[in-house]
């Protein structure tokens, strides 16, 4: 799973020659991988222990959610918070209209509503392909929480939630997003991994950063399309 994000210039560091970003996580990931392989090739109890330790490192490299446990055993789960300098009601209303999500979630192409609870999601995948699924609102508590999940039969079962909490006085609202995917084995699983990028955690962070900028400043900052002395 080593793949470029779909739109480079928005991603931190990518395409800009500054990879301050990924070395540490990759270090843990690679170390975890080699431990796991080494452990599995030993075919012994200590070997299994090594494999487990390696798996743990991989999980930490993937998840690194500040202590937040993944929602289930096998998939990828991330949770991230951001403070937004706007009232909760405004943030809740924006998010409750799921059609707004592609504006802040880079990997989404569109979300269309079937009715008040059901929606159809289209996500960008590598090489110009797409992944689509139907989802439903699982829980909706006005100004508190929205959660959604894919409907049975989706290629890639996934679910997510957003929670809104008041920050201390004068500091706006705290928004916490969780996303979880259960990628199946095989080609589709690989596609999901690509979809999520190398760092699902970083992707959610960027999504939240964009959400905050759109809510506070009315637009997300960009340098895509500005002049330079480069041919790009």
Partner 1 sequence: MKAVCWRGPNNVQVETVPDPQILNPRDAVVKITSTAICGSDLHLYDGYIPALRGGDILGHEFMGEIVETGAEVKNLAVGDRVVVPFTIACGRCFFCERQLWSLCDNSNPHAAAAEKLYGFSGSGLFGYSQIYGGYAGGQAEYARVPFADVGPTKVPHGLTDEQVLFLTDVFPTGYMAVESAGIQPGDTVAVWGCGAVGLFAIVSAYLLGAERVIAIDRVPERLAMARDRAKAETIDYEETDDVVEALKQMTGGRGPDVCVDAVGLEAHGTSFTAKLDRVKHAARLTTDRPYALREAIQACRKGGVVSIPGVYGGFLDKIPFGAAFAKGLTFKMGQTHVHRYIGPLMERVQAAEVDPSFVITHSVPLDKAPEMYRTFREKEDGCIKVVLKP
Residues that bind partner 1 (CB under 8 A): 9-13, 16-18, 20-21, 83, 85, 171-172, 202, 205-206, 209, 212-213, 216-230
Question: Least separation, in Å, of the C-beta of 82 and partner 1?
Answer: 9
Taking the complex as a whole, how short is the minimal distance between the CB of residue 171 and partner 1, in angstroms? 6
What's the token pair of residue 84? 């937004």
**Over the range 99-121, which residues count as b (16 or more CB within 10 Å of their CB) and which as e?**
eebbebbbbbeebeeeeeeebeb
| Token representation of residue 38 | 């080494």
Beta-bridge partner residues of 122: 110, 132
Question: Which CB atom, from 42 or from 205, has the smaller least distance to partner 1?
Answer: 205
Q: Which is nearer to partner 1, 7 or 117 (CB)?
A: 7
Return the number of the residue (81 or 83) whose C-beta is nearest partner 1. 83
**Minimum separation from the CB atom of position 91 to partner 1 (A):** 14
SS3 call for 146: strand
What gap in Å lies between CA 190 and CA 3, rounded to an integer?
A: 11
Closest residue by Cα to residue 99 from 77, 75, 121, 132: 121
Write down the least CB distance from residue 202 to partner 1, Å.
7
Q: Measured from the CB atom, is 40 or 167 closer to partner 1?
A: 167
Q: How far is CA 221 from the centre of its chain?
A: 20
């Amino acid at each position: 799973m080593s793949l470029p994000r779909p739109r480079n210039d928005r991603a931190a560091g990518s395409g800009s020659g500054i990879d301050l970003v990924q070395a540490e996580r990759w270090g843990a990931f690679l170390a975890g991988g080699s431990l796991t392989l080494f452990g599995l090739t030993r075919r012994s109890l200590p070997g299994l222990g090594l494999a487990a330790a390696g798996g743990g490192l991989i999980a930490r490299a993937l998840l690194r959610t500040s202590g937040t446990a993944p929602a289930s055993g096998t998939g990828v789960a991330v949770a991230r918070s951001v403070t937004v300098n706007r009232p909760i009601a405004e943030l809740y209303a924006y998010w409750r209209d799921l059609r707004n999500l592609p504006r802040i979630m880079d990997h989404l192409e569109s979300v269309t509503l079937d009715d008040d609870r059901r929606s159809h999601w289209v996500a960008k995948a590598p090489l110009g392909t797409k992944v689509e699924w139907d989802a439903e609102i699982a829980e909706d508590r006005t100004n508190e929480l929205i959660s959604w999940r894919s409907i049975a039969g989706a290629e890639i079962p996934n679910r997510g939630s957003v929670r809104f909490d008041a920050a201390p006085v004068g500091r706006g609202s705290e928004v916490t997003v969780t996303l979880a995917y259960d990628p199946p084995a095989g080609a589709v699983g690989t596609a999901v991994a690509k979809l999520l990028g190398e760092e699902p955690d970083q992707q959610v962070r960027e999504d939240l950063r964009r959400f905050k900028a759109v809510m506070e400043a009315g637009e997300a900052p960009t340098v895509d399309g500005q002049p330079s002395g480069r041919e790009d």
